[in-house]
């Protein structure tokens, strides 16, 4: 599978992962650094939306 990436809407950092689930996990961890709390499920939805809006 190709590497996936999303850009953090807060700081503009790029987050990378091989799988959508991993990316969602990374995004959730990263968002916590900005005091953005979200569930794993919410993180998955957001990552999915960001991936779809890119292509």
- Interface residues toward Zn ion, by CB under 5 A: 8, 10-11, 13
**Residue closer to Zn ion (CB basis): 1 or 14:** 14
**Residue closer to Zn ion (CB basis): 30 or 48:** 30
Distance CA 29, CA 19 (A): 15
Least distance to Zn ion from the beta carbon of 50, Å?
Answer: 13
Q: Which residues contact 42 (CB under 8 A, 6 or more apart)?
A: none
Cα of 35 vs its chain's centroid, Å: 15
Least distance to Zn ion from the beta carbon of 51, Å?
Answer: 17
**Residue closer to Zn ion (CB basis): 13 or 45:** 13
């Amino acid at each position: 599978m190709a590497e996936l990436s999303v850009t953090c809407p807060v700081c503009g950092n790029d987050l990378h992962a091989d799988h959508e689930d991993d990316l969602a996990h990374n995004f959730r961890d990263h968002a916590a650094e900005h005091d953005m709390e979200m569930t794993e499920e919410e993180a998955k939805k957001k990552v999915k939306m960001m991936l779809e809006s890119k292509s």
